[in-house]
């Protein structure tokens, strides 16, 4: 049986829909009430993996590094001691190594490789939907400080399809670490051009001040600023992607980002 954590998340629910539609022996686990099993990485007593052969571990990355590492470490430990054979993990692309939240992903990858379990690592590129949402226009112009650097973002739906391909035959993907960045990079000025809006990016300093005045969680401003800084410095583009091996006809990531920027789905 396959168990997928994070059942209520945006990525995981796309994967679950496909796996259930295709009739796999597949269950979801989540903190929410609608999942097949209730599971919260912050409560070790909920980490039950009886009967699970393959665990799809959706990263729980919206937190400080130490919190994320504690969560993922607890899951890997519980899975190993309860007889899980294979873990498929949603990591972060190598092109995203300069982002503030890359550390916990690399740490988790190392834990998996040292666990003695079979593993598959899905190094997801930044979501095109995330870039679009951050670039949503304010007062008729785009102000998010991405600079002009291209970003190899991927549609969440393509990343879900890639995950479903792997889950369809986990043994065939054991020991593989897939880079899943978008195949065609786009820059935020292209979003502005497609939407017919001016691109007037704030300076990084001005954005930092703006975020400081918002009711955000403590880790969030640093997380967002690292995306803007890495994009501005031109570090979010890469040619290294295995996406086409798993998803032969991926979405147009720029179109997906534009749809997200205007609050529509692509």
Ligand X SMILES: NC(=O)c1ccc[n+]([C@@H]2O[C@H](COP(=O)([O-])OP(=O)(O)OC[C@H]3O[C@@H](n4cnc5c(N)ncnc54)[C@H](OP(=O)(O)O)[C@@H]3O)[C@@H](O)[C@H]2O)c1
Residues that bind ligand X (CB under 6 A): 5-12, 30-32, 40-42, 58-62, 71, 90, 124, 126-127, 130
Least distance to ligand X, CB of residue 248, Å:
21
Distance CA 17, CA 34 (A): 13
Distance CA 166, CA 252 (A): 22
Nearest residue (CB) to ligand X, 32 versus 100: 32
Contacts of 118 (CB under 8 A, 6+ apart): 85, 86, 87, 170, 171, 174, 175
30 token code pair? 């989540």
Least distance to ligand X, CB of residue 229, Å:
16
Nearest residue (CB) to ligand X, 16 versus 172: 16
Nearest residue (CB) to ligand X, 10 versus 138: 10
Nearest residue (CB) to ligand X, 116 versus 218: 218
Least distance to ligand X, CB of residue 221, Å:
15
Nearest residue (CB) to ligand X, 37 versus 194: 37
DSSP H stretches of helix in the chain: 10-21, 65-81, 102-113, 128-134, 156-168, 188-195, 204-212, 220-232, 243-246, 253-261
Least distance to ligand X, CB of residue 257, Å:
11
Least distance to ligand X, CB of residue 139, Å:
26
Distance CA 58, CA 47 (A): 14
Least distance to ligand X, CB of residue 158, Å:
11
CB 24 within 8 A of CB 167: yes
240: nearest Cα among 177, 147, 169:
177
202: nearest Cα among 194, 211, 193:
211
Instruction: Report DSSP state, residue 194.
Output: H
Least distance to ligand X, CB of residue 28, Å:
8
Nearest residue (CB) to ligand X, 140 versus 214: 214
94: nearest Cα among 195, 187, 178:
178
Nearest residue (CB) to ligand X, 190 versus 220: 220
């Amino acid at each position: 049986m396959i168990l997928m954590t994070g059942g209520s998340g945006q990525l995981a629910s796309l994967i679950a829909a496909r796996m259930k539609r295709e009739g796999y022996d597949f269950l979801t686990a989540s903190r929410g009430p609608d999942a097949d099993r209730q599971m919260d990485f912050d409560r070790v007593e909920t980490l039950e993996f009886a009967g699970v052969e393959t665990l799809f571990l959706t990263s729980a990355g919206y937190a400080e590094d130490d919190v994320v590492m504690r969560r993922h470490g607890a899951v890997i430990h519980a899975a190993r001691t309860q007889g899980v054979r294979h873990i498929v993990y949603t990591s972060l692309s190598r092109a995203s190594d300069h982002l503030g939240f890359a550390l916990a992903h690399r740490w988790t990858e190392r834990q998996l490789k040292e666990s003695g379990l079979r593993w598959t690592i899905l190094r997801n590129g930044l979501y095109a939907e995330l870039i679009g949402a951050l670039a949503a226009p304010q007062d008729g112009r785009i102000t998010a400080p991405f600079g002009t650097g291209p970003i190899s973002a991927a549609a969440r739906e393509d990343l879900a399809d890639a995950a479903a391909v792997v889950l369809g035959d986990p043994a065939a993907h054991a020991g593989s670490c897939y880079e899943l960045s978008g195949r065609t990079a786009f820059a935020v000025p292209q979003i502005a051009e497609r939407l017919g809006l001016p691109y007037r990016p704030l300076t990084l300093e001005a954005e930092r001040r703006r975020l400081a005045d918002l009711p955000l969680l403590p880790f969030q401003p640093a997380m967002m600023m690292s995306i803007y800084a890495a994009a501005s410095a031109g570090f979010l583009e890469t040619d290294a992607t295995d996406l086409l091996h798993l998803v032969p006809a991926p979405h147009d990531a720029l179109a997906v980002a534009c749809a997200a920027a205007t609050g529509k789905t692509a």
